[in-house]
Structure 1
Amino acid sequence: MSAVTVRARSGPRDLRWLQVVAPLAVGVIVLGAWQFLVSVVGVSEYLLPSPASIAEQFVAFFPSIVQASGITGLNALIGLVGGSLIGVLLAALASRWSPIDGMTAPVVASLAVIPIVALAPVLNTMFGADSQFSRQFIAGLASFVPVFLNTLRGFRQTRAVHRDLMTAYAASSGQVLRTVTLPTARPFIFTGIRIASSLAVISALVAEYFGGPRGGLGGLISTSAASSAYARAWAYVVASIVLGLLFYVATLALERLATRHGSPS
């Protein structure tokens, strides 16, 4: 076996290790520089709490962080599932009938620019201070737009010749959707869901920040910052980042699972 062949076979494996080690190295460097700024340079903890202080608060309030993450995560999950289902269904209708496409285009464009910071207090007032529905609705609204746009683009990737071939075989609309349209649109659908997963968490956090029932990460960040417990607020921010990453990884794993089962053997 030649040296070139050995190098070619070991290349992808080395690259895979590099993809893991490089982000970790960057993270360690950033945290080290951050700690240096606070401990040596003398940046005030009022302005920038040190990573050590944030880690200490994270451990001290870990039960509260877990409980708050569960509340925010559930709100984001309900919004993500609901917004994604409505987005896929509406995109399927818009791709099939032009009048629906024409009607939904300006509506989706309007929904995409709605400011959450203005909508959250209004919905909290409408549905009451003890209801989580406003957070779930806002997460669903944020999820709907990318799922709809990506799914609609995916449905439009189906070639006319493939549809004509299915028509020649006297296939029903459901058969065309199941065997041609959905397999073609699947990567676009999951791309939209992957984007929406992070947006759902962010939107739920922002909605919690602007009132409503306490207990979620957004509300605890607001409360901690208001009481000048900045290290604790940063600990909740770290938990929010972890929650967003979990949503992203979960949707990525779901996409790979669906692609593996949907690909021909």
Structure 2
Amino acid sequence: MTLSSAPSPTAQQGLRILAPIALGVVGLGLWQFLVSVVGVSDYLLPSPAAIVGELVAFAPAIAGAAAVTGANALVGLVVGMVVAVTLAALASRWHAVDAMASPVVAALAVVPIVALAPVLNSMFGADSQFGRQAIAALAAFVPVFVNALRGLRQARPIHRELLHAYAATGAQAFRFVTLPSAVPHLMTGIRLASSLAVISALVAEYFGGPRGGLGSFISTSAATSAYARAWAYVVAGIVIGLAFFLVTALLERLVLRRIPSGATS
């Protein structure tokens, strides 16, 4: 009796692509069945067909709102990432900075967005996007800081001692030892922060501030009983979140390819 051979790499790649698509189709079919046959109310769960209809009918408005939310999330992600990396570099170098930063980061990690968003929106006025961008920056800051700090401390002491024995400068040690060890952790933090920035920006828009983002349109549509339209805006938010995640995941893959093999071991 012969054992069946393992699937080829091409078949495995095709399965990884087709499996989630098939699951999504089955889920949408079940969703439509619950609404059309079982009779689930629209205010509980609008049908996929109704949501698609709203996406088509309000495509320009949805695209404009998605652009606002995407811009807020992007600004927050970039600002949070820059501040986090800078503070992590200082904390890895001086223990006093680490001792001061650790409780602040721990406090930021548990700040409820739904409580902070209305406060910042009120502080900076009804015409400013700064409050929403600040919320996204705070959400992105924590995972980037934690992962960057861990990565900067990942380099083995024996590697540092070896470079010191060869009279390497601090800049050379950072370039050849510290940075290659830190980059994988940093990219993981950025990938996690990308989705959090989108979610936080959308939630901040939901709780006030200038009209224009997906969150504000979701709130308005739900308040006027346009539930399918509200879900259409939710779908746009999901698309933005997936786009941010895929772009940062691709960036992570490209960056890690440039790191010398064994740098993180």
The answer for unaligned runs of 5 or more in structure 1 is none
Other-structure match for 2:90:
93
102, 112, 122: which one pairs with 2:119?
A: 122
Partner SS for 1:157: coil
Other-structure match for 1:71:
68
Other-structure match for 1:248:
245
Other-structure match for 1:132:
129
Cα deviations across residues 135-160 of structure 1 (Å, max 9, x unaligned)?
11110000000000011111111000
Cα deviations across residues 20-60 of structure 1 (Å, max 9, x unaligned)?
11111110111000100111111111221000000000111
Runs of 4+ that moved beyond 3 A: none
Distance 2:5 2:260 in 1: 30
Give, in angstroms, the shift of residue 165 of structure 1.
1.0
Counterpart amino acid of residue 60 in structure 2? P
Partner SS for 1:235: helix
Q: Which has the higher helix share?
A: 1
146, 154, 157: which one pairs with 1:160?
A: 157
Partner SS for 1:262: coil
Other-structure match for 2:106:
109
Partner SS for 1:49: coil
234, 258, 263: which one pairs with 2:231?
A: 234
Other-structure match for 2:54:
57
Other-structure match for 1:223:
220
Give, in angstroms, the shift of residue 93 of structure 1.
1.2
Other-structure match for 1:142:
139
174, 181, 191: which one pairs with 1:177?
A: 174
1:84 aligns with 2:81: yes
Identity in percent: 65
Q: What is the alpha-carbon root mean square deviation over aligned residues?
A: 1.5
Give, in angstroms, the shift of residue 11 of structure 1.
2.6
Distance 1:172 1:204 in 2: 42
Distance 1:211 1:254 in 2: 33
Counterpart amino acid of residue 208 in structure 1? E
Counterpart amino acid of residue 235 in structure 2? V
Distance 1:263 1:26 in 2: 38
194, 200, 221: which one pairs with 1:203?
A: 200
Distance 2:19 2:105 in 1: 39
Counterpart amino acid of residue 48 in structure 1? L
Distance 2:61 2:258 in 1: 39
Distance 1:46 1:117 in 2: 23
Give, in angstroms, the shift of residue 14 of structure 1.
1.5
Other-structure match for 1:191:
188
User: Given the two structures, how large is their TM-score scaled by the length of structure 2?
Assistant: 0.95
User: Given the two structures, how large is their TM-score scaled by the length of structure 1?
Assistant: 0.95
Distance 1:114 1:217 in 2: 22
Distance 2:77 2:259 in 1: 23
Distance 2:77 2:222 in 1: 28
